[in-house]
Structure 1
Amino acid sequence: MPKTKTEAETETETPKMKPRPIVRLGIFLISHSLLVSVVCCTAGVLALLLLPLLAKNTYISENALMPGSASSMISNRDISEANRLANDLSDLNLEPQDTAAMESRRILTKYMSDLGAEVSYHKFHPKPNQFHPLHFFSGPDSTSTVENFSCSAYVVNTVGIIRAPRGDGKEAIVLVTPYKFGKSGLAETLSLSIAYTVFSLLSRVTWLAKDIVWFVADSQYGEYAPVEAWLRDYHTPVFTGLGTLNADTCVKIDDLYVLERKPIAQSKISDGFRRAGTMAAALILKVADRNELLEDTLTIYAEASNGQMPNLDLINAVNYLAVHRQGLRVKVEKFFTLLDSRWLEILGEIFELLGKVARSLNPGWKFGISAADYIEGSATLASSLYYQALGIPTGPHGAFRDFQVDAITLEISPKVSSHNKARHNEFLLRGGRLVEGVIRSINNLLEKFHQSFFLYLLTSPSKFVSVGVYMIAFALLVAPLPLVAASLYAEAYQLDLGVKNTKSTPTATASDALGITFRSWKWLYAAKEVFLIHVWGAAVLLLPYFICQVPNCSPTSSTVIWIFLSMLSLLIFYFIVGSPYTHVSISQPEKKGEWAILKSVTISAVFIGLLLMSVVNFATAEIGALLLVPMCLMAQPLKLDIKAGKLRSFLRAICNLVLAFVAFPPAAYFVVKTIFEGFDSINVGEFWNWMESLWAWNSATYIYMGMVHLPCWVLCLHVLLHSC
């Protein structure tokens, strides 16, 4: 029986396979990328504003720490010995600086040796702070010394080691006190007295299981340099040739050893470099020059290089002992200008009202905090985010974090009072007991800190936001980027995403498919441009090396020269490789989609750059996303908005210009500085000083500025100024 026409057509038709649900979801999101972008960006900014509300109370994760479980053992005898050391050092202030420095080292060595400690000296030369592109991410060169060497540049640190009676010498706890030998002030003498009080006690106890290293850093060239040099030699010992110096050129240094060896047994002092075990943790102890009006205050500094933070348990233990055992008021850094911010106060009142409404509906809902707590938490959170993004250590503890040692700086500010003996002894007792309690808690550990968080933001000394919470804001901000890039690509080449279901679709011929294939490869022009702009950004990063060679160049002049050379190099770059708008054999319909392809590739590059930066320094990626994502998503040729003649197009053009201005690196720096410090702090040279500090500390933020932020800004300008 012959088949009917309908049956024959049914057999010849091939059933159309439906895409998988995940593919259909992706196509749906790409097709509605505008709505997704608005929702995600709004939710990302809102998530950042909600972080102070989502902060949790800190807690001790490592049970072995047991802070405050034992009573303090510091006695009046330790306080008396510390006062005697302080008086002996203070009597040298009237002596010449060189003599006072030599005598103060001798006195300090004698006091350490009398306690039975092993005393040694660490000698190093401070390195000049010069930018070198080849040494940016490499380790410090231990063999480099100061040019035109003189004995005045020769720095000697004093190190005392107490061997643990119950330990095997494999672990150690480090206590650091910066001290200017020969020209110390009252605050530095007090910090030395507190450290000696603890050191004196630890030389007699029997429960000590880890070696104690007391490192007195000669801070005449800064507090960070001596700690970094000592840690470098501690972990990677090298022979710098310091022992072969001519004795005639450094008679004073030779005299130092002669004076020290007269009253001290030869077995207690060593010319060589002495070591203890692997460092479990480190405390940098300082007494601030300023005084507090109400009570003794402890300020904790924890940020290290490239946003690294110590284990949160170390901060928690210090905070618990300071507040609940010694009655100190604990602070962390905050932006005080935000405390008077009106818009932040309005947000706090709104969240407080929402919290009251939530509790009225269900008393079990603990949403919302008071407006005052929200403002305080936001100011502290902004400070924590900024200093992590800056990538510059806030104290000598940053040198320890580079060697994966948990460390913090404790700065104690004494209460204003008359210089009576009772108040002085009380201050030494409280400071000594705090350090003793922290060392005793670390001594209980059987392994390194690992239980608590390493990635977190502080909103107060007792509240924090973990990485699992604050990464949501970053994820929401960058989520629209790949969707918009795919949407622009599909729109530029008029690709069918399969969203609209048609009953009959004409069959594509081979020539049409071949035309689409050749046309789709046009994105390589945009990819080449994006790549070349990133190469130009790398060249801009190297310009400071040559600017530093200019003699007697002020920071303001250096900034102007840097901007001028960057613009000149970009023009020369265009002259060599050609303008980004002059492509050969591009028809008019394809030229209309050229800016869309350029924007698509730019957004893809920004997405990759932000993700890579989030691995190195999450805070930098967070702030960068706030600046770059809105500019990338809204960028559109100004000529199109002007031709449209609509209010919406006009507002979009204004927003694009504002975002382009704010995202320009110098402009962004001055805007942020104005918000936090006021308009009076504006100075063109400050931008050069800021960037100089970034490359001096090997901050990854400096690489981000030249390899991600600046190229993205230039490419978005290309899109805005594109001649459609």
Structure 2
Amino acid sequence: MSGIESINARRRPIVRLGVFLISHSLIVSVICCIAAILALLLLPVLAKSTYVSENALMPGSANTMLSNQEVSEADRLVKDVNALSLESVDAGINIAKLIARYMADLGAEVCYHKFRRQQNQFNPLHFFLSTDPVVVQRNISCSSFGVNTVGVIRAPRGDGKEAIVLVTPYNSSRIDAAEASSLGIGYSIFSLLSQVTWLAKDIIWLAADSRFGVYAPVASWLKDYHTPLFSGLGQVNAGVCHESNDLLKLKDAMVSDTNISKIFTRAGTMAAALVVKVVDRHNEADEDTLSIFAEASNGQMPNLDLINIVNYLAVHRQGLRVKVEKFWSLLDSKFLNFVGETVELLGKVAKSLNPNWRFGMPVAEYVEGTATLASSLFNQALGVPTGPHGAFRDYQVDAITLEISPKGSLKSMGQRIDFLMRGGRLVEAVVWSVNNLLEKFHQSFFLYLLTSPSKFVSVGIYMIAFALLIAPLPIVAASLCSDANRRDSSLSKEGSSQPHASADEPNPTLKSWRWLHAAKSVFVIHFWSSLVTLLPHFISKMPSGTSASSLLIWLSLCILSLFLLYTILGSPFSHITTSRPQEWAILKSVTVSAAFIGLCLMSVINFATAEIGALLIVPMCLIACPLKLDLQDWSFRALIRAASNLTLVLIAFPPATFYLLKGGIEGSDSVSVGNFWNWLETLWAWNSATYLYIGMVHLPCWVLCLNILLHPR
């Protein structure tokens, strides 16, 4: 046995496996990509039924105590609020005073919380540094403020260290019957909990003034709640401008009413939070419906047990129809219906072979589950909260938004009382379950995708598709590196065997410098992408600019800055010589490695964003090849590869990807030129990590792949 053969025989199995994968990188890449797509399509089939992991929750173990008396008092509050809403002067302040009086009559600790109108503004330095996605506008009107009303019930069996938060948003400047009913549900629960003896956690009722949006009042109150300042109403955000007449009237009411606290009232650490909203959908359903919204910023989700107990109590105790958001346009997809039919057929075949094999599902269930899963994945990847519950998740508090829609009209007293009773009993049962907890939610999942209110896919399942997608990247990079080194060795041997070798032939000892040129090109592109990510901060300061004009300015500056960087630092093609025809392979190897690192880092921040990004980036990186080589070959395989490269580069361009997705989900009529810029504004206003991913991972990878396609050799 020769020396080389003995060395190969002594190699460890892991090394031999690595060598095998690198030598068959093309086959491995194709298999992994196909398996990843199949894994994504099978996620609805692999979904498991939800279950309550924490036994202490015991949902539905106790009978509800909410009686007609509390509901009648709540209905009286609804009538009083509706009457005040008809007043055109001081309606907002009077509603806050009315809610405070109702809270105080129950013996609760009541205070007002003033917050000012806020404006979305891009600040790249605030990413991951602040939980507040908005900043106060400087030149703001003194009348642009809202007033939250906060009531606290101290638990008779508690020590004041934990609390449960109930939020009922309402538009004080234009309140309708549905928002008044939200206040009615909140008051009915607050009234009941002020009398019970089993309560072990403090109860906070936040009547959030949502005249400036449902998120701003909750986020502002949470920020002040967790700030070690004990200031009165007049001192919160003081000094910005002189106090308005409305604020002076409210302060006079505080002085005259001794039941209203002059300082910011706090309770214990928040165990959970429920945002209750009533939405009148004008008899769209034959029964009362409950929609659950759970996505928070950057893909954060509440503990699954919180959703599980709400779903269980709503379905099995109150008879509500529970829904989660889905992409309705996917329900008519012919491709999904074909996949569903295939899955159903495979399930029947598997059952005929072995009755214990439970694989497959009906077509309608598969398509609806896929539409729901796609919506869940998209909302997590977007990184923008789907409701005011997202403000709680920024403080690691489990919270969801319950959007309740009645089947009948809220103007009818009988139907309104019945609706208040059902909604109140649902919230009461949830509070009862959370009250049983001796510690924070931790037993169930925090990383999951919903396929229905009662089915989910855990991270251990849906990460398989992501792992399969990115697995070929390091293998292909190593394969390209190995091929380049092998060609260098062969060229060196040929050069040494020739007695009159050219003086221009590179020294084989300096072949590592070729990798520095590729690394420099990748560094230049990523440096450029960092500048491009900061450009919207300056473009947004331009006066009277439309979305379309801002987008065109941004694209023009991107192209101009890239050209200047190439001029100053050198083009990635400037070092190419005729003796090195495989420079593009080295550039591709470094590009693939950078894409792999970027996707892995993004998966730590927002897994959903990394998964969707991998679907676009990985095929483009794997297939990328100079178009000149394919056009010179002029074979069928080369033309197919060239067409695939052009198609993937077009689809993976961020604006093109956005317009294709928006047109496919909402229809082509909803697409306009400025939509992409508006979407970017939404991302940076909410400090979404998806914005950083697009600017610093996806865009540079796209430009590098375009460089490979346009490579001269």
TM interval, short-chain normalised: over 0.9
Larger Rg belongs to:
1
2:333 to 341, 346, 357: 341
Within 5 Å, which residues of 2 pair with 1:348-497?
A: 348-417=340-409, 419-494=411-486
Tell me the residue number matched to 1:567. 559
CA contact (8 A) 2:409 2:416 kept: no
In the superposition, relative to structure 1, how do residues 477 and 248 fare at CA in structure 2: closer, same or farther (>3 Å)?
Answer: closer
2:120 to 104, 126, 129: 129
Distance between the aligned counterparts of 1:34 and 1:239, measured in 2? 64
Tell me the residue number matched to 1:207. 198
Tell me the residue number matched to 1:319. 311
2:681 to 674, 692, 709: 692
Q: Given residue 172 of structure 2, which amino acid in structure 1 is its aligned partner?
A: F
Q: Given residue 364 of structure 1, which amino acid in structure 2 is its aligned partner?
A: N
Within 5 Å, which residues of 2 pair with 1:169-180?
A: 169-180=160-171
Distance between the aligned counterparts of 2:617 and 2:635, measured in 1? 26
1:704 to 682, 693, 706: 693
| SS of residue in 2 equivalent to 1:281 | strand
Q: Given residue 307 of structure 2, which amino acid in structure 1 is its aligned partner?
A: I
Distance between the aligned counterparts of 1:646 and 1:404, measured in 2? 57
Within 5 Å, which residues of 2 pair with 1:237-316?
A: 237-238=228-229, 241-242=235-236, 249-262=243-256, 264=257, 266=258, 268-291=259-282, 292-316=284-308
Q: Given residue 110 of structure 2, which amino acid in structure 1 is its aligned partner?
A: V
In the superposition, relative to structure 1, how do residues 201 and 577 fare at CA in structure 2: closer, same or farther (>3 Å)?
Answer: same
Tell me the residue number matched to 1:589. 579
After superposition, the C-alpha distances for 1:168-208 in whole angstroms (9 at most, x for unaligned) are: 00000000011122421111001000110100000000000
Distance between the aligned counterparts of 2:649 and 2:436, measured in 1? 54
After superposition, the C-alpha distances for 1:252-302 in whole angstroms (9 at most, x for unaligned) are: 31222323554x4x2x31121110000000000000132333100000000
| SS of residue in 2 equivalent to 1:380 | helix
Q: Given residue 111 of structure 1, which amino acid in structure 2 is its aligned partner?
A: Y
CA contact (8 A) 1:104 1:182 kept: no
| SS of residue in 1 equivalent to 2:271 | strand
Kindly, what percent of the aligned residue pairs are identical? 62
In the superposition, relative to structure 1, how do residues 15 and 492 fare at CA in structure 2: closer, same or farther (>3 Å)?
Answer: closer
Matched, 1:85 2:77: yes
Q: Given residue 626 of structure 1, which amino acid in structure 2 is its aligned partner?
A: L
| SS of residue in 2 equivalent to 1:405 | coil
Tell me the residue number matched to 1:54. 46
Tell me the residue number matched to 2:155. 164
Matched, 1:217 2:208: yes
CA contact (8 A) 1:177 1:191 kept: yes
Tell me the residue number matched to 2:68. 76
Tell me the residue number matched to 1:657. 646
Q: Given residue 249 of structure 2, which amino acid in structure 1 is its aligned partner?
A: D
Shift of 1:495: 6.3
In the superposition, relative to structure 1, how do residues 182 and 708 fare at CA in structure 2: closer, same or farther (>3 Å)?
Answer: closer
Shift of 1:409: 0.2
1:604 to 589, 593, 600: 593
Distance between the aligned counterparts of 2:604 and 2:240, measured in 1? 48
| SS of residue in 2 equivalent to 1:588 | coil
Distance between the aligned counterparts of 1:182 and 1:683, measured in 2? 32
Tell me the residue number matched to 1:232. 223
Tell me the residue number matched to 1:150. 141
Name whichever of 468-477 and 177-186 sits farther off. 177-186
Q: Given residue 257 of structure 1, which amino acid in structure 2 is its aligned partner?
A: K
Tell me the residue number matched to 2:613. 624
Distance between the aligned counterparts of 1:446 and 1:96, measured in 2? 48
Tell me the residue number matched to 1:6. none
Shift of 1:573: 1.1
Shift of 1:633: 0.3
Tell me the residue number matched to 2:107. 116
After superposition, the C-alpha distances for 1:619-646 in whole angstroms (9 at most, x for unaligned) are: 0000000000000000000000000010
Distance between the aligned counterparts of 2:698 and 2:521, measured in 1? 16
Distance between the aligned counterparts of 2:182 and 2:619, measured in 1? 49
Shift of 1:143: 12
CA contact (8 A) 2:450 2:457 kept: yes
CA contact (8 A) 1:247 1:254 kept: no
In the superposition, relative to structure 1, how do residues 659 and 69 fare at CA in structure 2: closer, same or farther (>3 Å)?
Answer: same
CA contact (8 A) 2:488 2:508 kept: no
Shift of 1:250: 2.4
CA contact (8 A) 2:277 2:404 kept: yes
After superposition, the C-alpha distances for 1:301-337 in whole angstroms (9 at most, x for unaligned) are: 0000000000000000000000000000000000000
CA contact (8 A) 2:57 2:433 kept: yes
Tell me the residue number matched to 2:546. 554
Shift of 1:361: 0.3
Tell me the residue number matched to 2:188. 197
Distance between the aligned counterparts of 1:57 and 1:121, measured in 2? 43
Q: Given residue 248 of structure 2, which amino acid in structure 1 is its aligned partner?
A: D
Distance between the aligned counterparts of 1:620 and 1:14, measured in 2? 46
Distance between the aligned counterparts of 1:162 and 1:239, measured in 2? 19
Distance between the aligned counterparts of 2:661 and 2:135, measured in 1? 37
- State the superposition RMSD in angstroms: 2.4
| SS of residue in 2 equivalent to 1:383 | helix
Distance between the aligned counterparts of 1:429 and 1:635, measured in 2? 62
CA contact (8 A) 2:120 2:133 kept: no
Mind listing any 5+ residue stretches in structure 2 that lack a counterpart?
Answer: none
Name whichever of 390-399 and 674-683 sits farther off. 674-683
| SS of residue in 2 equivalent to 1:73 | coil
| SS of residue in 1 equivalent to 2:523 | helix
Shift of 1:24: 1.1
Distance between the aligned counterparts of 1:13 and 1:356, measured in 2? 54
After superposition, the C-alpha distances for 1:213-270 in whole angstroms (9 at most, x for unaligned) are: 00011101111011111111111234895475599742331222323554x4x2x311
Tell me the residue number matched to 1:527. 519
| SS of residue in 1 equivalent to 2:674 | helix
1:719 to 698, 708, 712: 708
Q: Given residue 102 of structure 2, which amino acid in structure 1 is its aligned partner?
A: Y
Distance between the aligned counterparts of 2:241 and 2:710, measured in 1? 68
Q: Given residue 607 of structure 2, which amino acid in structure 1 is its aligned partner?
A: F
Q: Given residue 251 of structure 1, which amino acid in structure 2 is its aligned partner?
A: N
| SS of residue in 1 equivalent to 2:542 | coil
TM-score in terms of structure 2 length = 0.94
Tell me the residue number matched to 1:502. none
| SS of residue in 2 equivalent to 1:522 | helix
Distance between the aligned counterparts of 2:650 and 2:241, measured in 1? 60
Distance between the aligned counterparts of 2:134 and 2:596, measured in 1? 40
Tell me the residue number matched to 2:28. 36
Matched, 1:94 2:83: no
- Report how many aligned residue pairs link the two structures: 699
Distance between the aligned counterparts of 1:243 and 1:332, measured in 2? 38
| SS of residue in 1 equivalent to 2:172 | coil
| SS of residue in 2 equivalent to 1:493 | helix
TM-score in terms of structure 1 length = 0.93
Matched, 1:187 2:173: no
Shift of 1:493: 2.3
| SS of residue in 2 equivalent to 1:159 | strand
Shift of 1:494: 1.3
